[in-house]
């Protein structure tokens, strides 16, 4: 069918995208019992911002439901359940673990706050919450909704769970939940997936808790070279490009350009934040990098009161 569409005048085959949907997973058809299917497109970092905004305003997208009037075998044969490509990585970041820990200590030394137990690693959401688990959409039958009988272990397998599918990304979330109103400064030290070869896009996002609302995002173009002040602490100074050291605070005085201020409009006084790292699409594959080869970032809660900030 894709080739038939591409044969139409003015249609580029590379612009035709087919998303297979198996009737073993969803109820397809026209009637009230048919399931609704939605396709999302993630938009990020256009090469040309002006052209990107123009694209968003006049989306050149068309969704077609095509039927074969001749009822050929190809048309009536349903798609099978798609096999998920396993998440892998081009580089095992655990080779950089000692340097990551050394970099964390260098940040503490720089701030003169080595005596405090103020650092904590992020958690892998893929390993901890199982964002890409095979749950809830069944191959056949439906689970009982009776609370007294409900057992998630009895659910038939399927390629999605209640937190949503996340094949194209790998996420880590800060294990700490941080206040900012007493001049706390949160440093995040991590590996930059776009430099280790494990991501086409890396970002840190700040999320307002407990509402779990994303309020701002810092991508790899901002994080690049942010570890250069501490490069002498590394086993090889040239490795600093594979790391980032980035700060979040109410007041970024003395910390620019590697700091993002969080206003009380974005996270109200008295509320807290969590920080997430996202690595999108392992180069050379379709899914995000495998969490078993990704180092979790480490967050450090620092005292940012006047006089506590480093001189440079």
What sign does the CA torsion over 260, 266, 272, 274 have?
Answer: negative
If asked whether residues 114 and 39 sit together in one domain, one would say no
pLDDT at 34 over 80: yes
| pLDDT, mean of residues 55-64 | 83
Answer whether residue 245 is part of any domain: yes
* Tokens linked to 43: 């938009």
If asked whether residues 58 and 201 sit together in one domain, one would say no
Answer whether residue 160 is part of any domain: no
Answer whether residue 148 is part of any domain: no
Asked whether 187 and 107 are in contact (CB, 8 A), the reply is yes
118 or 85, higher pLDDT: 118
Answer whether residue 312 is part of any domain: no
If asked whether residues 108 and 257 sit together in one domain, one would say yes
DSSP string, the chain: -HHHHHTSTT--GGG-------TTTS--SSSTTSPP----------SSHHHHHHHHHT----------TT--HHHHSPPPPPPPPPP--SS-GGGGHHHHHHHHHHHHHHHT--SS--EEEEEEHHHHT-TT--BBS-SSS-----TTT--GGGSPP-SB-TT---TTEEEEEESS-B--TTSEEEEEEEE-HHHHTS-SEEEEEEEEETTTEEEEEEEHHHHTTTTGGGGGGSSSGGGGGGEEEEEEES--TTTTTSEEE--TTTS-TT-EEEEEEEEE--TTSSS---GGGSPPPEEEEEE-STT-S---
If asked whether residues 37 and 182 sit together in one domain, one would say no
If asked whether residues 260 and 118 sit together in one domain, one would say yes
Which range of residues forms the domain containing residue 220?
Answer: 93-131+166-303
Q: The domain that contains 171 carries what CATH number?
A: 2.60.120
pLDDT of 86: 85
pLDDT at 297 over 60: yes
Q: In what order do the strands lie in the sheet with 169-174?
A: 213-219, 201-209, 272-280, 169-174, 119-124, 298-303, 184-191, 243-249, 259-261
Report the mean per-residue pLDDT for the chain. 84
If asked whether residues 74 and 206 sit together in one domain, one would say no
pLDDT of 85: 82
Number of domains the chain is built from? 2
pLDDT of 44: 75
Question: In this predicted model, what pLDDT tens digit does every residue of 105-151 receive, in sequence order?
Answer: 999 999 999 987 899 999 988 777 654 444 444 434 444 334 444 34
The DSSP bridge pattern shows strands 201-209 and 272-280 to be antiparallel
If asked whether residues 1 and 119 sit together in one domain, one would say no
Asked whether 299 and 188 are in contact (CB, 8 A), the reply is yes
pLDDT of 181: 96
Last-in-domain residue among 55, 82, 109: 82
Answer whether residue 156 is part of any domain: no
If asked whether residues 206 and 60 sit together in one domain, one would say no
Question: In this predicted model, what pLDDT tens digit does every residue of 182-213 receive, in sequence order?
Answer: 999 999 999 999 999 999 999 999 999 888 78
If asked whether residues 14 and 61 sit together in one domain, one would say yes
pLDDT at 7 over 70: no
pLDDT of 154: 47
If asked whether residues 104 and 201 sit together in one domain, one would say yes
Asked whether 137 and 159 are in contact (CB, 8 A), the reply is yes
| pLDDT, mean of residues 232-251 | 97
Q: How many CB atoms lie within 10 A of CB 267?
A: 25
17 or 173, higher pLDDT: 173
Question: In this predicted model, what pLDDT tens digit does every residue of 90-100 receive, in sequence order?
Answer: 999 999 999 99
If asked whether residues 40 and 126 sit together in one domain, one would say no
Distance separating alpha carbons of residues 264 and 289, to the nearest angstrom: 34
């Amino acid at each position: 069918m894709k080739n038939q569409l591409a044969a139409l005048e003015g249609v580029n085959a590379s612009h035709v995208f087919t998303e297979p949907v198996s009737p073993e997973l969803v109820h397809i058809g026209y009637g009230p019992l048919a399931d609704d299917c939605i396709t999302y497109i993630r938009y990020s970092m256009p090469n040309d911002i002006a052209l990107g905004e123009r694209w968003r305003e006049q989306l050149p997208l068309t969704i077609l439901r095509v039927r074969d009037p001749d009822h050929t075998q190809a048309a009536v044969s349903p798609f099978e359940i798609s096999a998920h490509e396993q998440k892998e990585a081009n580089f095992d970041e655990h080779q950089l673990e000692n340097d990551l820990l050394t970099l964390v200590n260098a940040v503490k030394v720089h701030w003169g706050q080595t005596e405090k137990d103020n650092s904590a690693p992020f958690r892998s959401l893929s390993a901890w919450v199982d964002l890409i688990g095979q749950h809830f959409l069944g191959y056949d039958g439906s689970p009982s909704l009776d609370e007294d009988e409900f057992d998630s272990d009895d659910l038939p397998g399927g390629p999605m769970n209640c937190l949503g599918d996340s094949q194209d990304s790998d996420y880590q979330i800060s294990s700490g939940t941080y206040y900012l109103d007493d001049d706390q400064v949160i440093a995040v030290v991590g590996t930059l997936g776009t430099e280790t070869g494990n991501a086409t896009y890396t970002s840190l996002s700040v999320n307002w808790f407990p509402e779990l609302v994303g309020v701002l995002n810092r991508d790899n173009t901002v994080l690049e070279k942010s570890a250069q002040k501490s490069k002498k602490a590394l086993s090889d100074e040239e490795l600093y490009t594979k790391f980032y050291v980035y700060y979040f605070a109410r007041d970024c005085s003395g910390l620019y350009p590697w700091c993002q201020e969080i206003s009380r409009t974005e996270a109200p006084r008295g509320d807290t934040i969590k920080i997430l790292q996202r690595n999108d699409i392992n180069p050379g594959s379709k899914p995000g990098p495998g969490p078993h080869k990704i180092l979790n970032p480490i967050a450090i809660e620092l005292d940012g009161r006047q006089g506590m900030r480093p001189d440079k």
